[in-house]
């Protein structure tokens, strides 16, 4: 019988711990580590290997001496998402709040939450047992796997919203968020099903371990049209843009006219649409773009050829700077056999780069630190990471420290380093797998 490790964060531990163990006893050997405050729970995760599951009450003390506060559950989630743990830690929120629906949709947009359970409902333990079994048999088994969309199947059975459905991606912290909200309103006035990442969409609020970022995957995958504002070079938006193209969505990347020259060189040209105001929506042709749900990359880039087999075992894609093109490349080639290098600073043809990505079986990306001067190089890499994942590639992502804001959409495949030797063993294991 499989042993599972559960971390319970609940201010009234004695009322629930034994019942949880009893409800799961027929399925697993259950080891529960319990804390009645957030600080000690987070410290435990930092000092020990990550648990298989977190059960978290929203109203808990953060420090042991505190009284329970409603906001502390979100604080724990935020800290948990930012920790460099060994794998995604699925979380089930357990709460007794009557406004559970509003709470869940709010948190579901931000954090890696699997499900929300109301402790007061009669079937609480029955539902908990069902969810835990789904997580243990799915999340852990497929923890290192991204979506297999390129193979034309989605194990989550995501429903297509139709040809006149649209998803808008943009940075909430940028100056262009207001423009995108106005654009969404204008698109909706044309009777187009348009939504963005802050909209409530219940079917998208329950992540699964089978895919990289389920909340966004559902939304991009289920809609025919993808519109991104790429002006401020937000990494997550560029990642989502590349993913949308990879899975065959009709993709529009908007850039404010005055900022067009500052875009990453590789992604300029026909990929981007300059704009000055929301009337840009008049240029969109909302039609059935590819004729089927999955599409083909050759429908978007006719010059791209999809190979019948992978001719490159391992491809390394590096940014445009001497340190990564020289020292890091040489060090990696010492312990990764069959590594073919692609330096973005030496190519300016997006078709060539995409063709090379399609030829590879495995791809390693190396992001620079997230300091401002590196944003252009990292934006190009983020786009290609999204594209590679959309095509079903086995991806490993590195990022050089310092890191101020994590590249969250790919947290389960992203490894930070100060010295490349720090991740040598993990890279070797991935390359031989």
Residue 370 DSSP class? -
| Residue entry with tokens 């042709």 | 285
φ, ψ for residue 229, nearest 5 deg: -100, 110
- CA–CA–CA angle 212, 71, 402 (5° rounding): 50
pLDDT given at position 374: 87
Average pLDDT over residues 206-217: 49
Task: Look at the alpha carbons of 414, 418, 419, 422 in this order and tell me if their dihedral is positive or negative.
Answer: negative
For residue 94, give the nearest of 118, 112, 111, 75 by alpha carbon. Answer: 118
Condensed to tens digits (0 to 9), the pLDDT of residues 381-399 reads 999 999 998 888 888 999 9
Q: Show the tokens assigned to 143.
A: 């923890």
- Contact between 281 and 188 under an 8 Å Cβ cutoff? The reply is no
pLDDT given at position 74: 82
Q: What is the rounded distance in angstroms from the CA atom of residue 162 to the CA atom of residue 30?
A: 44
Question: What percent of the chain is modeled with pLDDT above 90?
Answer: 17
Q: Mean pLDDT for the chain?
A: 79
Task: Tell whether omega for the bond before 80 is within 30 degrees of 0, i.e. cis.
Answer: no
- CA–CA–CA angle 431, 433, 156 (5° rounding): 110
Condensed to tens digits (0 to 9), the pLDDT of residues 333-353 reads 888 888 999 988 888 888 899
- Contact between 378 and 353 under an 8 Å Cβ cutoff? The reply is no
Condensed to tens digits (0 to 9), the pLDDT of residues 260-280 reads 888 888 887 667 888 888 777
Q: Which domains does the chain have, with CATH numbers?
A: 3-140 (3.40.50.2300), 165-300 (3.40.50.450), 312-432 (3.40.50.450)
First to last CA, the chain: 27
Count of other CB atoms within 10 angstroms of residue 330: 11
Ranking 87-96, 132-141, 238-247 by mean pLDDT, the lowest is: 132-141
For residue 116, give the nearest of 101, 130, 136, 129 by alpha carbon. Answer: 101
Asked if pLDDT for residue 424 goes beyond 70, the answer is yes
Condensed to tens digits (0 to 9), the pLDDT of residues 135-179 reads 776 544 333 333 444 444 455 556 667 667 889 999 877 778 888
Burial bucket for residue 392 (CB in 10 Å: 0-12, 13-18, 19+): middle
Q: What is the rounded distance in angstroms from the CA atom of residue 398 to the CA atom of residue 419?
A: 11
């Amino acid at each position: 019988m499989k042993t599972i490790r559960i971390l319970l964060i609940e201010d009234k531990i004695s009322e629930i711990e034994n019942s949880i163990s009893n409800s799961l006893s027929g399925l697993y050997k259950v080891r529960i580590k319990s804390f009645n405050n957030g600080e000690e729970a987070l410290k435990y995760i930092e000092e020990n290997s990550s648990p298989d599951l977190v059960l978290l009450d929203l109203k808990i003390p953060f420090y042991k001496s505190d009284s329970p506060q409603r906001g502390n559950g979100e604080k724990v989630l935020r800290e948990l998402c930012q920790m460099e743990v060994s794998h995604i830690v699925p979380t089930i929120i357990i709460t007794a709040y009557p406004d559970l629906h509003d709470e869940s949709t709010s948190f579901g947009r931000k954090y890696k939450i699997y499900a929300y359970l109301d402790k007061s409902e009669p079937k609480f333990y029955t539902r908990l047992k069902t969810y835990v079994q789904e997580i243990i048999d799915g999340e852990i088994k497929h923890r290192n796997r991204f979506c297999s969309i390129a193979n034309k199947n989605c194990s989550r059975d995501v429903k297509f919203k139709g040809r006149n459905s649209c998803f808008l991606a943009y940075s909430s912290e940028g100056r262009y968020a207001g423009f995108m909200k106005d654009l969404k309103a204008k698109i909706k006035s044309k009777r187009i099903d348009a939504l963005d990442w802050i909209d409530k969409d219940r079917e998208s609020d329950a992540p699964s371990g089978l895919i990289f970022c389920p909340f966004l995957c559902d939304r991009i995958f289920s809609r025919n049209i993808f519109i991104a504002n790429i002006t401020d070079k937000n990494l997550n938006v560029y990642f989502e843009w590349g993913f949308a193209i990879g899975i065959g969505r009709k993709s529009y990347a908007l850039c404010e006219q005055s900022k067009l020259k500052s875009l990453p060189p590789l992604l300029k040209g026909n990929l981007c649409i300059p704009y000055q105001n929301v009337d840009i929506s008049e240029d969109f042709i909302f039609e059935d773009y590819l004729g089927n749900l999955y599409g083909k990359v050759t429908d978007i880039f006719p010059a791209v050829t999809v190979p019948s087999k992978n001719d490159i075992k391992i491809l390394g894609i590096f940014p445009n700077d001497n340190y990564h093109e020289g020292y890091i490349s040489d060090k990696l080639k010492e312990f990764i056999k069959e590594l073919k290098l692609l330096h973005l600073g030496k190519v300016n043809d997006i078709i060539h780069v995409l063709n090379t990505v399609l030829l590879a079986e495995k791809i390693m990306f190396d992001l620079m630190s997230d300091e401002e001067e590196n944003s252009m190089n990292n934006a190009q890499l983020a786009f290609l990471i999204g594209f590679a994942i959309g095509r079903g590639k086995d991806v490993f992502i590195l990022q050089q420290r310092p890191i101020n804001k994590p590249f969250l959409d790919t947290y389960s495949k992203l490894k930070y380093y100060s010295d490349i030797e720090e991740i040598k063993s993990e890279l070797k294991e991935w390359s031989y797998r």
